[in-house]
Amino acid sequence: MSTFEDRERGEEAKYAHDAAFQFKVTNRRNKLLGLWAADLMNLSGNDAEEYAKSVVRSDLEEPGDEDVFRKVRGDFDAKGVDRSDARIREHMAELTAVAREQVMKEVKE
């Protein structure tokens, strides 16, 4: 096997690893976002967990974060939760960092 083929396989493996890691981070962020939103909508226990799962599932609608944002925004509007679009997006960004740390910690264990 040539050095070029070794390098190519290494790059493919790295890309697959990075994609899997990012997928885990995004799913974790969406779950955390769902739990945050559930708390603001006065959901708790199983209801909060189910809502968080629905936020995670909403990310399967289209690439990017807009589907998740629209879900939370729509649910906040329906429940009368007063949060600006900017605050929701800001919190999504904050939770991305938290989720990344949590997933990295799990990978190291």
**CATH number of the domain within which 51 lies:** 1.10.790.20
Q: Which domain holds residue 82?
A: 3-108
Single out the residue of 25, 74, 85 nearest to residue 51, CA to CA: 74
Could you tell me what percent of the chain has a pLDDT over 70?
88
Q: What is the pLDDT of residues 61-104, one digit of tens each?
A: 788 899 999 999 999 999 999 999 999 999 999 999 999 999 99
Give the whole-angstrom CA distance, residue 2 versus residue 63: 37
pLDDT at 6: 66
| Structural domains in the chain (count) | 1
State both tokens at 29: 């962020």
